[in-house]
């Protein structure tokens, strides 16, 4: 049996990093029926629009997509094609694990946190208007329904990944109604998961504590804008956006993507580091139920980076995108199969 997966090559370095991820996934032996569809600048060139309906329906039909970074051209009517994909497919949960890697210089050696961000509301509701000239208002929406499902997702993720604690990050001391609802809901849902500890932390304190000692956190759940900021902070704690995987998950579909941009300055030169997308592809394998293959990919990437012989230019090496890819594939064969959660 093959898993259907939509592959969106994306723009800039997208085709190079998606090709690397595809080759590595195929080398695990998991059978994927890749279906190529387009979004972003490439879709504008081919179809005159950045997010063709056929791409969205292909993702809905397959249920899973692996996506390269997308350029959002101005004048296309979207603030961001990425945000539009999340909205149209109701990918309500953003999942960003941040784990230290040997061989990547960063402030700490032992970071291992998962950031879960509510993806559909908060200040990303897109509801803004000018009240009177010189005064604008942006509406920060928090609903019980969205708060419940993201809290439940956080606890289920904690369980799935063998984690011990979920921390709700909020600003309920000031935003008493909106974040009050978010926090109360998380507290109530915590009651359904007696095996996972729960606490909460005000967002500014969470930022400070993450910088001072990130090991005190396990799984963090928060609304959209706080998640946007703290997930990048956590990426920074483990070496930056170039090595951080990401997934956007809904009830009917999941899209796996790197969080870095299209890097037009190095596109087409085999200079891109595909680590972030390859690790996102490992999350995808785990999502498909192929935990063993996911673990092999993650371990192989870690070994290649720790070994240091085949590092790409951004990490201080001279290897090309395909050199790095081949090195990871070689490591897949020496990594023993291990059972994982
Ligand atoms: P966009 O407009 O799509 O956000 P950008 O260039 O403004 O593109 P990024 O794509 O995130 O933003 O790039 C920021 C810097 O990081 C650039 O110098 C780019 O070359 C580098 N960079 C980003 N992704 C990678 C990657 N995968 N490998 C190596 N370098 C990268």
Q: What is the pLDDT of residue 78?
A: 67
Mean pLDDT of 296-311: 97
The Å distance, Cα 314 to ligand 1 centre, comes to: 10
Checking if the pLDDT of 112 tops 70, the result is yes
Q: What is the pLDDT of residue 124?
A: 83
Checking if the pLDDT of 339 tops 50, the result is no
Structure tokens at 135: 């005064």
Of residues 232, 292, 314, 323, which has the active-site annotation? 232
Q: What is the pLDDT of residue 77?
A: 66
The Å distance, Cα 212 to ligand 1 centre, comes to: 28
Atom 17 of ligand 1, residue of closest alpha carbon: 263
Q: Is 228 a catalytic residue?
A: yes
- Calpha distance 6→36 (Å, rounded): 6
Q: What is the pLDDT of residue 340?
A: 43
Atom 21 of ligand 1, residue of closest alpha carbon: 263
Q: What is the pLDDT of residue 73?
A: 72
The Å distance, Cα 261 to ligand 1 centre, comes to: 5
The Å distance, Cα 259 to ligand 1 centre, comes to: 10
Least confident range of 61-65, 142-146, 213-217, 239-243: 239-243
Q: What is the pLDDT of residue 132?
A: 97
Q: Is 124 a catalytic residue?
A: yes
Instruction: Choose which residue among 263, 266, 311 to substitute to test ligand 1 binding: the one with the highest number of ligand atoms within 8 A of its C-beta.
Output: 263
Ordered structural domains, the chain, with CATH: 1-97+240-341 (3.40.718.10), 107-112+126-237 (3.40.50.2300)
Q: Is 232 a catalytic residue?
A: yes
- Calpha distance 146→140 (Å, rounded): 13
Q: What is the pLDDT of residue 341?
A: 38
Confidence band of 80 (pLDDT split at 50, 70, 90)? confident
Q: What is the pLDDT of residue 72?
A: 82
Q: Is 179 a catalytic residue?
A: no
Task: Write down the mean pLDDT value for the chain.
Answer: 94
Mean pLDDT of 112-139: 93
Query: How far apart, in Å, are the Cα atoms of 283 and each of 1, 198, 249, 307?
Result: 20, 24, 11, 23
Structure tokens at 55: 């791409």
Checking if the pLDDT of 197 tops 70, the result is yes
Confidence band of 19 (pLDDT split at 50, 70, 90)? very high
- Calpha distance 180→199 (Å, rounded): 14
Checking if the pLDDT of 91 tops 60, the result is yes
Of residues 124, 179, 200, 218, which has the active-site annotation? 124
The Å distance, Cα 301 to ligand 1 centre, comes to: 20
Q: What is the pLDDT of residue 336?
A: 55
Percent of the chain whose pLDDT exceeds 90: 91
Evaluate whether 63 touches 69 at the Cβ level (below 8 Å).
Answer: no
Confidence band of 173 (pLDDT split at 50, 70, 90)? very high
Of residues 92, 171, 200, 218, which has the active-site annotation? 171
Confidence band of 241 (pLDDT split at 50, 70, 90)? confident
Checking if the pLDDT of 35 tops 50, the result is yes
């Amino acid at each position: 049996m093959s898993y259907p997966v939509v592959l969106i090559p994306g723009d800039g370095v997208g085709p190079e990093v998606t090709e690397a991820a595809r080759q590595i996934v195929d080398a695990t032996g998991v059978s994927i029926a890749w279906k190529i569809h387009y979004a972003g600048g490439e879709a504008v060139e081919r179809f005159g629009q950045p997010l063709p309906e056929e791409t969205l329906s292909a993702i809905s039909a397959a249920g899973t997509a692996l996506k390269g970074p997308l350029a959002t051209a101005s004048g296309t009517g979207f603030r961001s094609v990425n945000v539009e994909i999340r909205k149209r497919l109701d990918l309500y949960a953003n999942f960003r694990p941040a784990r230290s890697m040997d061989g990547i210089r960063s402030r700490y050696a032992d970071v291992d946190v998962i950031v879960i961000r509510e993806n559909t509301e908060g200040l990303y509701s897109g509801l803004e208007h000018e009240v009177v000239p010189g005064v604008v208002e942006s509406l920060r929406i928090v609903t019980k329904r969205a708060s419940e499902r993201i809290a439940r997702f956080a606890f289920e993720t904690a369980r799935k990944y063998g984690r011990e604690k979920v921390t709700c990050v909020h600003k309920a001391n000031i935003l008493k109604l909106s974040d009050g609802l978010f926090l109360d809901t998380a507290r109530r849902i915590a009651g359904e998961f007696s095996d996972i500890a729960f606490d909460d932390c005000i967002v500014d304190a969470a930022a400070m504590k993450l910088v001072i000692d990130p090991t005190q956190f396990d799984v963090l759940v928060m609304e959209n804008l706080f998640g946007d900021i703290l997930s990048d902070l956590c990426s920074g704690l483990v070496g930056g956006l170039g090595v951080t995987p990401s997934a956007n998950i809904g009830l009917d579909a999941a899209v796996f993507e790197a969080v870095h941009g299209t890097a037009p300055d190095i596109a087409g030169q085999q200079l891109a580091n595909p680590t972030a997308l390859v690790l996102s592809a490992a999350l995808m394998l785990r999502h498909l139920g192929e935990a063993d293959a996911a673990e092999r990919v993650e371990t192989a990437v870690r070994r290649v980076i720790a070994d240091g012989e085949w590092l790409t230019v951004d990490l201080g090496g001279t290897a090309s995108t395909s050199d790095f890819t081949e090195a990871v594939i070689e490591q897949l064969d020496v990594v023993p199969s291990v059972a994982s959660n």
